[in-house]
């Protein structure tokens, strides 16, 4: 194809551990409030809420392969830039309107991810009943470690998920504590969208979210999967 008026943007992609291949990213779905202790810290009642979603554009993706990781600038228009450490599902097969038992087979890989958030803009949007896009879907807000194939490590239904900032632990949860488990999330999303390979799903964060500033180094770990590292650079 040579008739584009501008060159097409580069296809966002993530490393696949142990190979030279890359996973081309199409869409990024995020589950809101999927751990009860985090739902409570955000002022919500975890017992009454069906799953809900927001999205980030694929262009927000930043590949962060440990140990060096990535550096992103402190974003514009916020004074409360938060981390949310999450397990990310990488879809590897088309699925549409499937039950949880069938949905799990579409999960091709896992990665550690950081759902970076302008918390002050999110709070203002919530209060005004406005969309979350500028709080959640801004440039370089979807940090992703390398993708590990389920075929290589098996299912990650339980195990510690933690995040430290400058060596001090801030978040600790267990994958088994998700309100909506992986199969239920993929099944539920498949009734709202035709899911395809290239779709990522950030599955929510445990309690302990907080602010970071320029110079901070974030290290997230998921038992059985690995690490993600992110350094916050100076403001743009
Ligand atoms: Mn999140």
pLDDT digits (tens, 9 = 90+) for 107-158: 999 999 999 999 999 999 999 999 999 999 999 999 999 999 999 999 999 9
Q: Check whether 48 has a pLDDT greater than 80.
A: no
The backbone torsions φ and ψ at residue 207, rounded to the nearest 5 degrees and listed phi first, read: -65, 160
pLDDT digits (tens, 9 = 90+) for 152-197: 999 999 999 999 999 999 999 999 999 999 999 999 999 999 999 9
Q: Check whether 6 has a pLDDT greater than 70.
A: yes
Q: Which residues of 80-111 are buried (b: 16+ CB within 10 A; e: fewer)?
A: ebbbbbbbbbbbbeebeebebeebbebbbbbb
Q: What is the pLDDT of residue 38?
A: 86
**Cα-to-centroid distance, 127 and ligand 1 (Å):** 18
**Cα-to-centroid distance, 144 and ligand 1 (Å):** 13
**Cα-to-centroid distance, 117 and ligand 1 (Å):** 8
Torsion of CA 105, 142, 161, 171, to 10 degrees: -150
Section 61-67 average pLDDT: 94
Residues ≥6 apart with Cβ < 8 Å to 81 = 74, 75, 116, 117, 118, 119, 211, 212, 213, 232
Q: What residue spans define the domains of the chain?
A: 13-233
Alpha-carbon Rg of the chain, whole angstroms? 17
Q: What is the pLDDT of residue 49?
A: 78
Section 204-216 average pLDDT: 97
Q: Residues lining ligand 1 (ion), CB within 5 A?
A: 84, 115, 205
Q: Check whether 21 has a pLDDT greater than 80.
A: yes
**Total-model pTM:** 0.97
**Cα-to-centroid distance, 92 and ligand 1 (Å):** 22
**Cα-to-centroid distance, 94 and ligand 1 (Å):** 24
CATH topology for the 13-233 domain: Fumarylacetoacetate hydrolase; domain 2 (3.90.850)
Q: What is the pLDDT of residue 1?
A: 58
Cβ–Cβ < 8 Å for 95, 103: yes
Mean pLDDT of the chain: 96
Section 86-98 average pLDDT: 98
Section 80-100 average pLDDT: 98
**Cα-to-centroid distance, 22 and ligand 1 (Å):** 24
Q: Check whether 32 has a pLDDT greater than 80.
A: yes
């Amino acid at each position: 194809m040579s008739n584009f008026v501008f060159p097409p943007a580069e296809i966002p992609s993530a490393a696949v551990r142990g190979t030279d291949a890359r996973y081309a990213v199409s869409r990024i779905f995020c589950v809101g409030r999927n751990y009860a202790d985090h739902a409570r810290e955000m002022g919500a009642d975890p017992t009454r809420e069906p799953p809900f979603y927001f999205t980030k554009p694929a262009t927000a993706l930043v590949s962060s392969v440990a140990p060096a990781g990535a550096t992103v600038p402190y974003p514009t228009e916020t004074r409360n830039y938060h981390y949310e450490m999450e397990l990310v599902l990488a879809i590897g097969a088309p699925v549409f309107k499937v039950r949880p038992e069938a949905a799990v087979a579409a999960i091709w890989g896992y990665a550690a991810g950081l759902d970076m958030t302008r918390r002050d803009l999110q709070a203002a949007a919530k209060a005004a009943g406005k969309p979350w896009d500028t709080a959640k879907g801004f440039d370089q807000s979807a940090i992703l470690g390398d993708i590990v194939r389920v075929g290589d490590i098996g299912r990650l239904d339980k195990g510690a998920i933690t995040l430290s900032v400058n060596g001090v632990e801030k978040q600790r949860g267990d994958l088994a504590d998700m309100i909506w488990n992986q199969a239920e999330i993929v099944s539920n999303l498949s009734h709202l969208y035709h899911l395809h390979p290239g779709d990522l799903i950030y599955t929510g964060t445990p309690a302990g979210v907080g602010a970071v500033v320029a110079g901070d180094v974030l290290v997230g770990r998921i038992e059985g999967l690995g690490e993600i590292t992110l350094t916050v650079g100076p403001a743009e």
